[in-house]
Structure 1
């Protein structure tokens, strides 16, 4: 455990865009100086706001604005009180290039079924893993190829629903910000033709094809019976792999992401795009033939993550919206119009409430092809959601859209999902407040938080060092795999080390950088993916 004494000034430890609003958060008010790190010259002197109570963190906090500093370089902030300084940070036109690259490269490190070579993976290389065929639950005689895809999180399971969310974020980032992905990662498939982000998504999509039953239904997940010990390297995890039963949520998400992929890959590989849409339509037909919710629950002898969900209307709605956006077939519009009248959240971006991707797909469609009434309802709903995020951000001492009771398992995913929604709203309404609020969420993730901690491994002056991530725990490399987003504060204290160490702390401080803390410090593909989307906005070449 390493709960060190935090600095009294917290900043985005990566940096600030050149002509953006630039603020630091102080736990001591007064006069402060912005100092050029290399020359020691004070480039700006300002005074903080008065201190105010921030209930989520339990701190009295003040803001110090240094937006007038539009000088490229490396800086730190010094309080008038001697020896009180911040982490160093950059001011650049594109300060997040390396971070954006690292967040995307992380998906290569999550790859299953492929050797990660020293040339591409550096000290975090390892042998190919999980190459054996898996067996279908309740039919152990049926064995199927199941190699490929991404490990979901700190374990080695592979799951359709969160995998679809992760791919959706990456494809949407490419769709809206293609210029952010001009730089090769590189990865084994780098060819100078297909952008590497699409190569990386294809690694997951190709595994997803293997999860579709000939009926069109999709197996919910592929895991061993139980999680392996933390000290297990991926290639040493040799327990039998099991295709868990089909679920309607997995099938709906599969139909949706394959339809979206068909649109995105069409200009590059028409044959592959056709394969995607065929798989999507087959999954949709299964959904039509199985109108009831086929919810997934772990069989009694399986103890891995279940991603269970008691409703599938959001998954089906997403599928219909993506299929309509790709095919313009009125059958899918009729279906989504019917479903849109049901009561479910139309802007959820979480695996358990994923309908927001459907609404976004519909809003991004050719407006001449959409139903005017539904389009206007969704546009109004998007503005209302974004305005609610603004209000929540205005009540938080660190400028993020989490209320005191929203520091849950994977709270950093919620932070980045909210920032995604703000940027989608900015695209439609061009309200600079939405963009500025989204940037505050980036600042929080990168160190401007009550723990003075960058929640992204390998990035920042003080970043997460001990994530709940088996490859980094089991290898002989001191530094963790870089570019992984940690789950973040979780007031639920769901693991033993959290219960032992964090009792009584305010919600925003319920985090421990310890490998045993799966409830606060695990990593996951669908925590990286919204962060990559958000950073793509500032990495695009304007």
Structure 2
């Protein structure tokens, strides 16, 4: 046995002993305080939940700083909301300590009852966006980087052709992800997982690092890891759609359920030999099922819409890295969307020997999202019209506000098509309509949560945690586009629920937080057979006791450490034999990437305007020198020389015209190790100077202009740096421009205002002319008064010959003076990801 594995076993023993201790304590305790085990952002709504087995109440609580052992906040009756009797508890209350914003580590006390420790601070979620990707890599089929081995390499033989002409044919469908702890694979969940990860990256590209290659092995490859993971899924979707007439829906069936084994050791015989080919099912408008059980399929649009939206967004975000693959995806998106229009209805997954399958009953949401992505990529307004029409067929995702639903009946659990319609600018009436629709869904869940101590309005159906992730995603998106604070408390409550503020006091994400109470015995062969953690996977979550009690083949293998917190209403078991509450799911995990991307972004302390980053984190004396250029390059060699002499890495945003006119300068700049990015191709003005929200350019023209800049960079031999940052021409943009850029995997950045450094382009006849001496003095005066931490300090690489007074000639003086004042100079990538 190697030392690493021995160490892991010792830790497992220690954790087991801890659980025995906690369990015995739980039996002697009568009250508990539940908190988010990770903690709270400084401006969060912060609420803990007190629960008791006794009919009791509290009138005061304290928050104690762990470092000083002093009480830093005392909550009185105004901060306590009595929520009365709850499932498994006789008494409960919500304890609000939102007013405490000081970073630190704390515990909360009410009488003799104490919470576990938790933190407050904007940095506490740093790096968490990559946690779900650990589980996604572990779920890979074909080559599995975690096992350093391959599995299911003979997939697959076609079955269930609705036309009866293409059965028993071999199709290479190797790849993708196993759906959960069994090894079935579905386009329904895989395409949604692909889209969710692509969407997460488009919203928060700065949150995702590059530590793994395309195969999932350790080692950077110049592509963000989340895009590597999404491409793994896209590659499989392409294989599942080998031609314009062939769309597959599912790989394998529940004959897979023959017992726990690692995927590379599985030897299921589907009739073609043990461990050989598995069946692959077609997308079918007719009920399917090879045995006595059949699904209720009525069409193809639910699956084809998911194909189209994933292919379309994939084409946009993969273009900088895989242009030929991107073109293929764009064509496949168009083909899938067209076929979906022609075949409305749902194509459900195929059951096997058991009656269980994904009972998806809605499809308009899938076509709505596909239409929006087609609109975003093409700019053709007929797609926008179609998206609105599809969206009106399902104004609110039906599970929102419902008490129950069948398994995956209304899927995906969040309608991102509504979000895209709510932010588009070309149909303001529809924009308002779909913002109302988003709010209506949230309001229904909020109303259902009334009286619940944990503010949980999610129905406890199978995979309730996935619904919870969908809900907090919609809360966050709605708040960001409207500024409406109505759902901030319930958003925080449902995030906190996933991280320990629930009746069981456990996080629902395996291994996160590392020192917290998290699932130790999930339904997974990796863990159960080999004690290998499935870190990052979100488990199914709590379920109605009535559902749990009637599932086939379910039992508890061990003593229930949460027995005291179970009820006749809802249960959760950290037990591998309970596949209904403790099995990690691939699609739920992928859906976490958006919200954890948001939380990770907060850790950086970035300042934003209209979706663009205008300042890095302010906790360190660091700044970035940013140079832009279009017509002129007279300062290029001076700037290069000064930066090299002073060992400073800068950031250069240059237009396509500049790259074409001065390719040698650009190559030399990159050779010196500086970051190069686009400044548009032709230096177009995107938005009206007086009415910032008024666009002067179409989406297709914007995308063409930006892509032409990138194309020119590649043509002259430049490497495209990642993450992709873009400073707009004239340093002027609006939220729509930011959203368009994000949909292409590009984050807009802009200079930090205040120093007047950007006025170095002015010439003496201009009213706003400032001399270089005045600008230099302004910079230093601003630093004395306000500091320059996190600044993007803009200087032009060249200016009009009419300006003989060049600021770049003072660059060395400025660098030396700021270094003397304790500042470090970083390129933009380092500054924004520090």
1:235-250 aligned at under 5 Å gives the runs: 235-239=264-268, 240-247=277-284, 248=300, 249-250=302-303
SS in 2 for 1:517: coil
Report deviation, 1:437. Answer: 2.8
Specify whether residues 341 and 246 from structure 1 end up closer, same or farther in structure 2 by C-alpha distance, changes over 3 A only: same
Specify whether residues 441 and 146 from structure 1 end up closer, same or farther in structure 2 by C-alpha distance, changes over 3 A only: same
1:97-246 aligned at under 5 Å gives the runs: 97-116=126-145, 121=146, 125=147, 127-137=149-159, 141-182=168-209, 184=211, 187-188=216-217, 191=220, 193-224=222-253, 226-239=255-268, 240-246=277-283
Task: Give yes or no for contact 1:189–1:196 (8 Å, CA) kept in 2.
Answer: no
- Equivalent position of 2:526 in the other structure: 471
Specify whether residues 22 and 507 from structure 1 end up closer, same or farther in structure 2 by C-alpha distance, changes over 3 A only: farther
1:298 aligns with 2:330: no
Specify whether residues 95 and 46 from structure 1 end up closer, same or farther in structure 2 by C-alpha distance, changes over 3 A only: same
Give the TM-score normalised by structure 1: 0.87
Task: Give yes or no for contact 1:314–1:344 (8 Å, CA) kept in 2.
Answer: no
Task: Give yes or no for contact 1:251–1:287 (8 Å, CA) kept in 2.
Answer: yes
1:61 aligns with 2:92: yes
Task: Select the structure with the greater relative contact order (CA < 8 A; seq sep ≥ 6).
Answer: 1
2-structure distance, mates of 1:136, 1:473:
33
2-structure distance, mates of 1:50, 1:363:
34
Counterpart pick for 1:73 among 101, 104, 113: 104
Task: Give yes or no for contact 1:487–1:522 (8 Å, CA) kept in 2.
Answer: yes
Task: Give yes or no for contact 2:542–2:570 (8 Å, CA) kept in 1.
Answer: yes
2-structure distance, mates of 1:35, 1:311:
49
Task: Give yes or no for contact 2:309–2:370 (8 Å, CA) kept in 1.
Answer: yes
Report deviation, 1:330. Answer: 3.7
Specify whether residues 471 and 352 from structure 1 end up closer, same or farther in structure 2 by C-alpha distance, changes over 3 A only: farther
- Equivalent position of 2:317 in the other structure: 264
Specify whether residues 411 and 482 from structure 1 end up closer, same or farther in structure 2 by C-alpha distance, changes over 3 A only: same
String of CA shifts for 1:358-398, please: whole Å, max 9, x gaps. 22233344x13xx3433332122122223334444453211
Unmatched runs of 5 consecutive residues or more in structure 2? 1-18, 53-57, 161-165, 269-276, 285-299, 401-407, 607-834
1-structure distance, mates of 2:365, 2:501:
34
- Equivalent position of 1:51 in the other structure: 82
- Equivalent position of 2:373 in the other structure: 322
Q: Larger C-alpha radius of gyration, 1 or 2?
A: 2
Report deviation, 1:429. Answer: 0.7
Report deviation, 1:233. Answer: 0.7
Task: Give yes or no for contact 2:455–2:490 (8 Å, CA) kept in 1.
Answer: yes
Specify whether residues 189 and 269 from structure 1 end up closer, same or farther in structure 2 by C-alpha distance, changes over 3 A only: farther
RMSD: 3.1
Report deviation, 1:471. Answer: 2.4
Specify whether residues 352 and 50 from structure 1 end up closer, same or farther in structure 2 by C-alpha distance, changes over 3 A only: closer
String of CA shifts for 1:13-48, please: whole Å, max 9, x gaps. 111113323221112524333233355343333346
1:350-429 aligned at under 5 Å gives the runs: 352-354=410-412, 356-365=415-424, 367-368=425-426, 371-402=427-458, 406-429=459-482
1:20 aligns with 2:44: yes
2-structure distance, mates of 1:424, 1:412:
18
Unmatched runs of 5 consecutive residues or more in structure 1? none
Report deviation, 1:208. Answer: 0.8
Report deviation, 1:410. Answer: 0.9
2-structure distance, mates of 1:229, 1:37:
50
The answer to which of 517-526 and 34-43 deviates more is: 34-43
Report deviation, 1:448. Answer: 0.6
Give the TM-score normalised by structure 2: 0.58
1:391-540 aligned at under 5 Å gives the runs: 391-402=447-458, 406-460=459-513, 461-477=516-532, 480-491=533-544, 492-493=547-548, 494-495=550-551, 497=554, 506=567, 509-540=570-601
2-structure distance, mates of 1:383, 1:508:
28
Report deviation, 1:126. Answer: 5.5
Specify whether residues 253 and 464 from structure 1 end up closer, same or farther in structure 2 by C-alpha distance, changes over 3 A only: same
Task: Give yes or no for contact 1:15–1:91 (8 Å, CA) kept in 2.
Answer: yes
1-structure distance, mates of 2:348, 2:436:
34
String of CA shifts for 1:313-368, please: whole Å, max 9, x gaps. 33223322221222123443343344344356468797734482222233344x13
The answer to which of 319-328 and 349-358 deviates more is: 349-358
Task: Give yes or no for contact 2:396–2:441 (8 Å, CA) kept in 1.
Answer: no
